[in-house]
Structure 1
Amino acid sequence: MENEKYEKGAPDVDVVSQITDSSVHDQTHRKLKGRHIQLIGIGGTIGTALFVQIGSALTEGGPGSLFLAFTIWSTFILAINNCLSEMVTWIPIASPFVRFADSFVDPALGFCAGINFFIFEAALVPFEVVAFNLVLQFWTDKIPIVAVIAIVLFLYAILNVFAVGWYGESEFWLAVGKVVLAVGLMAFTFVTMIGGNPLHDTYGFRSWDPSKVAGAPFAEHIKTGSLGRFLGFLTCLIQASFTIAGPDYVSMTAGEAELPRKTLPRAFNSVFYRLTTFFVLGSLCIGLVVPYSDQNLLEALSDAKPGAGSSPYVIAMQRMEIPILPHIVNALILSSIFSAGNGYVYCASRTLFGLALQGKMPKILARCSSNGVPIYSVAVTLAIALLSFLQVSNNAAVVLQWFVNLVTAAQLLNYAIISFTYLKFYYALQAQGIPRERLPHRSFWQPFCGYYAFFGTFIMAFVGGWTVFLPGNWDVPTFLFSYAMLGLAPVLFIGWKIVKGTTWQRAEDMTFFDKEREQVDLYEDTHVSGISSSRFAKIGDFFFA
């Protein structure tokens, strides 16, 4: 490694990671600043699920179950955040948790984890493109679907192909819009619930009052009595497991983060608190602004009204005769969807890039442009996004459900692999006499968080499609899409293990990417960040660095 690559004042240093095949290197550039990473962790998870789709769970479980489910699932996200933060800040490499599974557990698990996460992220790109078109129809359905899809995919290509700095900057400001929307809707809830609305209706916690709303706050779903209320809660918990994320998106920036040991701990520490603020308080607000049995909400969901038309917030605004705001909400939701899809292109391409670095995908996918962008991995991701055109010949709602069913179990399986990998990492440190105090960032409640996250996410992965097993509800496509990834994962693991003859890693023999850590140490010791000349960038650095 030539020391010239680490000269002071070179803000676009590329940290080269040596891997098994020395002819393939990590040529990405560390250009993502702290504020980029902070907002990428938030922006990648806030979208239609929080503002629109959550209304469906509200009608099935009631406001109490919705709030309780989102609160409980946030504790699992905290546990996953703790597991990732400790490993990634010490070893900040590209596609980290995929490569950790490879080195800390078994190369076969690394291959399984990489394919699973790539399919998950890549499938979410067309999901968001389809959702973008639906939200646009809140105003008009005159724009050809083909044109909308083509424009969105073209913009994703522009933002992801030319330089990681373009992606980071665009995602930062798009994510700021999401934060403004989420905070604005919570403020809207507080103001209107105390009478600050055109009707001067002080509704407070009326939707939680069983004397005002029958069955509140815990609604019965499918069955009656306690079992029905439990099933309502379970439906809300499944929605929460699909909606709340964040730590995995922060970790995917590790290989391109500027001064990772300084910026990543801050990002990990803030992700949980910010996401739980948005999701826990957001779920509370949803259950306040409109009753779970509201007829307008039920009709909007059954008729699949486009865009914000199915959002509980917009329905509440219409009920309170508030003009203009629904259009503002729809516009911000539109930007939220675009931002989420943009983030999925980034994460999917970096996952494919990480697999190529390890020799688990063709070497060409590890090649980068002069700007440090894995150009071929981005191209493959965008090619898969062409599945968005399925909605041209199919109902958009049906296509959306296909993607939702496919990715929900994949996300939970990914979390289970991350937490299991951490447990192997934790006990390997003990076996080799490496004190955790030497780590640049040490998480709390370990190894409890590892076990808690593993068992919770693993069990929930099998629960997601439970309704298909009810009498009269059997549906082959629903079953296949709900459990396809759970069936594919062991096939990938066993197949790779047999073909490649991989070995389960023993705690005493495990290595911790020593060369890569040394290179990061050298980079951080000699690196001087470039000075941004943008006034807007300076404002962002001030608030989010």
Structure 2
Amino acid sequence: MASSGIDVPGSATADYVMHERDKEYDSGYKKEVHEEAQIPYDSDSLSQHAVRSDQTHRQLRPRHIQLIGIGGTIGTALYVQIGKGLLNGGPGSLFLAFTIWCTFILAVTNCMNEMVTYLPISSPFIRFAGRYVDEAFGVAAGYNFFVFEAALVPFEIVACNVIIQYWSDAVPVGGIIAIIIVLYAIINLFAVQWYGESEFWLALGKVLLIVGLIIFTFITMLGGNPIHDRFGFRYWKNPGAFAALYREGNLGRFLGFLQCLIQASFTIAGPDYVSMAAGEAENPRKVMPKAFNGVFYRLTAFFVLGSLAVGILVPHNDQTLKDAFLNGLPGAAASPYVVAMDRLKIVILPDIVNAMVLASAFSAGNSYVYCASRSLFGLALEGKAPKILTKCTKSGVPIYCVGVTLAIALLSFLQVSNNAAKVLSWFVSLVTASQLINFAVMAFTFIKWKNACDAQGFDRNLLPHKSFWQPFSAWYAFTGCTIMAFVGGYTVFIDDFWNVPDFLFSYLMIGVFPVIFVSWKLIKKTKWLKPHEVQLRTAEVEEIEEYTRNYVARPPKTRWHGYLDKIFSA
């Protein structure tokens, strides 16, 4: 029913408006006036009012959320695999593709920011899909995201092993894999703040590395290198900004650009990782909008400038870079940054870069363990996975979900009997389409959410955060991500490139998603929700509003932590 401007008693809008009328705005966020309702601070870090019905604890500080979002997105792809994009499309195509894809990520971030800030629960976008669209849709989205994240764990473990081999292959492959899995278990099976603190420092290392490499590019291109070569944008002119791929002429250059766009769609993310931390964030209605925006703008700067940097440092026809990927050279040897350092006769730095890339890969895998376990936890909370998976430790860690994720990580032992490059390609092909499906699900869920708000007269202006350019932004994200999911494996349809394994790995999840959706819908007889049937106010909304009213800021443990909170929470 369309809004007539009059609040109907018992309606979602009336309840929400009455609840909000006793509030006043403070710097754009709603803050309760009634101080007597606050729960006093307890030294056990808000444990009295941070524990919710899903047993997890709100102990992640703003700086943790910021760096978790950044750390989960920045992996070896930004430092090493980005070189493939340069070879395929050239510096111009790479830069344009990464810039364009960031606009789609902005649109997805815009959608998730509004919904998650209103209801910051565990595994939010998975559960929103079931609540605002169709229960079967949420199940399909949940398992798609779980498979995506869980498959990335062994991907990063194998990557860590390959990176270590840059220095020496004396350590047995199986031994390194076992050590990494044990470290992930230690970090993720203890209290969530352990994960948040460890990921903060690991992600900070990633930030310092990419910032350092961008500065390195600027200095060396102006002649600040051992051979005093002031090369500037030389490689954009010779051999050129746009490389032809598979075909000659404009068609080849377009295919090169398309390959760079596919590379960008696999490399750039962000809103999914920020969302997954919402259920364990302190004061989420204030923290999450800043986290979404901060992570997006920082990542955009890193990815866009990073794509520009590699195109400045190395020509797209560099034989050393080609051989590195062709022969599967270990670690940073295939990084365009290391190739550039070798060209410029720079020593020591390649080893430092390799060490930082190792930390980057380890951190990314750590984030994937967290996100995969929380997505499975969300499915269990909704009754879509075995109930035993809802069990949490006293510290609020979904222990069995973490265990299942670590069990899947054992797939990394495939490297013991197979070529590392081959194993990596299996995982990359499997998850690329899954990530695009995730983003399409987020955008479509927002479309249904907005339709429900409009139909029920639910005033979105009263929300803690309202997204902009809607519903255009959501449709833009949904259309772009859906198209790219089907385009991702286009090379198998080109003459002489067809092969069954590549086709299956590229399109497997696109086929699995509707199968899960239809199967669950037929078995459970679920209903495609109409706008007026969507429940916009639930007990969980009341719960988060009570938490917000009673929230008392937790002081930092040390002065040093206080400085970090101020620096990384903006």
Q: Same fold (TM over 0.5)?
A: yes
Amino acid at match of 2:72: G
- Aligned pairs (5 A) from 1:494-533: 494-533=518-557
2:63 to 35, 52, 61: 35
CA change 1:513–1:396 in 2 (3 A) is: farther
Structure 1 partner of 2:243: 219
CA distance in 2: counterparts of 1:96 and 1:478, whole angstroms: 32
2:505 to 462, 478, 481: 481
CA change 1:16–1:180 in 2 (3 A) is: closer
Question: Which string of whole-angstrom CA distances, capped at 9 and with x for unpartnered residues, describes residues 40-85 of structure 1?
Answer: 1111011110000010110110000000000000000000000000
Offset at 1:120? Answer: 0.1
SS at 2:73's partner residue?
A: coil
CA distance in 2: counterparts of 1:32 and 1:241, whole angstroms: 28
Amino acid at match of 1:182: I
Unaligned runs of 5+ in 1: 18-24
Offset at 1:536? Answer: 4.2
Question: Which string of whole-angstrom CA distances, capped at 9 and with x for unpartnered residues, describes residues 403-426 of structure 1?
Answer: 000000000011111100000001
Do the aligned partners of 1:297 and 1:315 also contact (CA within 8 Å) in 2?
A: yes
Q: Does 1:134 align with 2:166?
A: no
Q: Does 1:192 align with 2:220?
A: yes
- Aligned pairs (5 A) from 1:407-486: 407-486=431-510
Do the aligned partners of 1:114 and 1:351 also contact (CA within 8 Å) in 2?
A: yes
Amino acid at match of 2:91: P
Offset at 1:509? Answer: 1.5
Offset at 1:87? Answer: 0.3
CA distance in 2: counterparts of 1:54 and 1:536, whole angstroms: 36
Structure 2 partner of 1:55: 83
Offset at 1:526? Answer: 1.1
Structure 2 partner of 1:146: 174
CA change 1:224–1:99 in 2 (3 A) is: same
Offset at 1:270? Answer: 1.0
SS at 2:226's partner residue?
A: coil
Amino acid at match of 2:183: L
Q: Does 1:12 align with 2:40?
A: no
Offset at 1:16? Answer: 6.2
2:373 to 341, 349, 370: 349
CA distance in 2: counterparts of 1:8 and 1:161, whole angstroms: 29
Do the aligned partners of 1:117 and 1:348 also contact (CA within 8 Å) in 2?
A: yes
Give the TM-score taking structure 1 as reference length: 0.96
CA change 1:328–1:535 in 2 (3 A) is: farther
Question: Which string of whole-angstrom CA distances, capped at 9 and with x for unpartnered residues, describes residues 381-438 of structure 1?
Answer: 0001100101001111100000000000000011111100000001111111111101
CA change 1:259–1:449 in 2 (3 A) is: same
CA distance in 2: counterparts of 1:396 and 1:497, whole angstroms: 39
CA distance in 2: counterparts of 1:47 and 1:137, whole angstroms: 18
CA distance in 1: counterparts of 2:536 and 2:379, whole angstroms: 18
Do the aligned partners of 1:50 and 1:243 also contact (CA within 8 Å) in 2?
A: yes
Structure 2 partner of 1:21: none
Unaligned runs of 5+ in 2: 1-36
Amino acid at match of 1:61: G
CA change 1:14–1:483 in 2 (3 A) is: farther
Offset at 1:528? Answer: 1.9
CA distance in 2: counterparts of 1:248 and 1:156, whole angstroms: 20
Do the aligned partners of 1:6 and 1:523 also contact (CA within 8 Å) in 2?
A: no
SS at 2:526's partner residue?
A: coil
CA distance in 2: counterparts of 1:36 and 1:282, whole angstroms: 24
Amino acid at match of 2:40: K
SS at 1:171's partner residue?
A: helix
Structure 2 partner of 1:101: 129
CA distance in 2: counterparts of 1:530 and 1:262, whole angstroms: 14
What's the RMSD between the two structures over aligned residues? 1.2
Structure 2 partner of 1:293: 317
Offset at 1:537? Answer: 2.4
Give the TM-score taking structure 2 as reference length: 0.92
Structure 2 partner of 1:66: 94
Structure 1 partner of 2:390: 366
Amino acid at match of 1:91: L
1:308 to 313, 318, 332: 332
Amino acid at match of 2:498: W
CA distance in 2: counterparts of 1:105 and 1:125, whole angstroms: 29
Amino acid at match of 2:254: F
CA distance in 1: counterparts of 2:262 and 2:429, whole angstroms: 11
CA distance in 2: counterparts of 1:14 and 1:164, whole angstroms: 16
When structure 1 is superposed on structure 2, of 230-239 and 301-310 the one drifting more is: 301-310
